[in-house]
Structure formats: structure tokens, C-alpha cells
Amino acid sequence: MRKLLVLLSAVAMLAGVQSAMAGAGGALKMVDIDNSDQARQRGAEIVVSTCMMCHSLKYIKFSDLSQIGMTEEQIKYLLEDQDIDDRMMSLTPIEVRKESYGKVPPDLALMAIARKKGPQHIYTLLTDYYYKDAEEEETDNHLFPGIKMPDAMAYADAESDEERAEIEAQAADVTSFLVWAADPSAESRRTIGAYVIVYLIILTTLLYFLKRRIWGKIH
């Protein structure tokens, strides 16, 4: 019993240390990934209207958004100058972005899997902005202090808990969309996988009994 308690407390300590060590600066917030089409669509709209000012998603075409249930009209509604078959590239020229931020803002298509606990990083980043000064002129980020990216979702401006909750919901939608974007085949993979595992269990069980039968003769 004592050994078990010691072991459990060691694990708890480790877990605590782990989560505290997670971000470069602050701790990572938890986020519920919503795998529904609606959440992903809401996230897609925010990404196209806000994030794509500076970021691209080179591996997603606008037409791919039909995979999360958007109709052709809905997709065309999001477009500015782009074609529906174009990749989701930022319309702001590279030089302009590079000058404003010192380097080209990273592509978002794989961001959710580009580091361990990617979705939590995305969500925490978006909702960790705060004003450095009393006059509320310069923002900084708890997770990545000194970050060049501005407060895209205006989180630091939120004044009430409701406002913050609204932006947090939007950030969660953005995260859900980016999780889909990084690995669109994830759902069909797991569905097919379930069938495969069930089949293999059946086959292996049959093989087991056949093995017993064959070896039974010589034991």
C-alpha cells in the first residue's frame, strides 16, 4: 500500500513538472477539440478572414473545405481574389509580412502537429495575450514572451468574462479547424482501423484455436 502511494505521488509530481515545463513561458491551457463540421467551419471562417492576413496554409485548397461540409457557395463567400481551386495562401506579399514581423509568419497547415501538444499550444497562444503597460499600448504573450505576432483575436482587449469566453470559444474553433487541416484523413483512418482490428482479433482467435488443435495431438 505504501509503495503504491509513493509511486502515485511520484507520477503526480512528474506530471506536474511536465505540464509546468511545457510552454516556453506559461503553462499550457487545456482545450476540447471539437470534431464536428460546424466547429471546423467556424474555425475555417476565422482563419480565412483573420489569420490569413499573415499566415498561409499551403496544403489546403479552398475546394478541400467541402470535406468539412461547406457547399461551393459557402466556400466562394469566403474568397476575395482567389479561385476556389487555389491553395489557401495569404494575399499579403511576402516582403511586407517579412518586414512587419522580421520573418515570414509560419505556415499553419501542419501547425497542430508541428510540436507535442500542438493543439494546446495553438489555443494557449491565441488566448494568452495581455497588455504590458497600464496605458494598454503594447501587448505580450505569456506562452511566448517577446512574440512578434500581434493579438489577432483581440484577447487582451476583452474586458469581461463573457467577452473572454467568447474569444476562447473562437480560439477553440480555430484550433479544431487546424487539427483537421493538419491531418484530414484522421477520421477515416480511425474508422477503417476499427474494422481492421476487429477483423484481426477474429482471425487471431481462429488461428489460436487451430494452433491448439494441431499441437494438441503431440502434447
Choosing from 115, 132, 148, 164, the residue that interacts with other proteins (CB under 8 A) is 115
Tell me, by CB under 8 A, how many residues bind other proteins. Answer: 40
Choosing from 1, 4, 5, 218, the residue that interacts with other proteins (CB under 8 A) is 218
Site for other proteins in 176-205 (CB under 8 A): 182-185, 189-190, 192-194, 196-197, 199-204
Tell me the C-alpha distance between 1 and 3, whole Å.
5
Tell me the C-alpha distance between 59 and 36, whole Å.
21
Please say which residue, 110 or 149, places its beta carbon nearer to other proteins: 110
Tell me the C-alpha distance between 45 and 89, whole Å.
14
We find the least distance from the C-beta atom of residue 34 to other proteins, in angstroms, to be 20
Decide: is 7 part of the binding site for other proteins (CB under 8 A). no
What is the separation, in whole angstroms, between the first and last Cα of the chain?
42
Burial class (CB in 10 A: 0-12, 13-18, 19+), 8: exposed
We find the least distance from the C-beta atom of residue 84 to other proteins, in angstroms, to be 10
Tell me the C-alpha distance between 142 and 128, whole Å.
5
Contacts of 31 (CB under 8 A, 6+ apart): 119, 120, 123, 124, 171, 172, 175
Decide: is 63 part of the binding site for other proteins (CB under 8 A). yes
Please say which residue, 7 or 186, places its beta carbon nearer to other proteins: 186
Q: Are 172 and 123 in contact (CB under 8 A)?
A: yes
Q: Which stretch binds other proteins (CB under 8 A): 114-122, 123-131, 138-146, 166-174?
A: 114-122
Decide: is 25 part of the binding site for other proteins (CB under 8 A). no
What are the residues binding other proteins (CB under 8 A)?
59, 63-64, 85, 109-110, 113-116, 118, 182-185, 189-190, 192-194, 196-197, 199-204, 206-211, 213-218
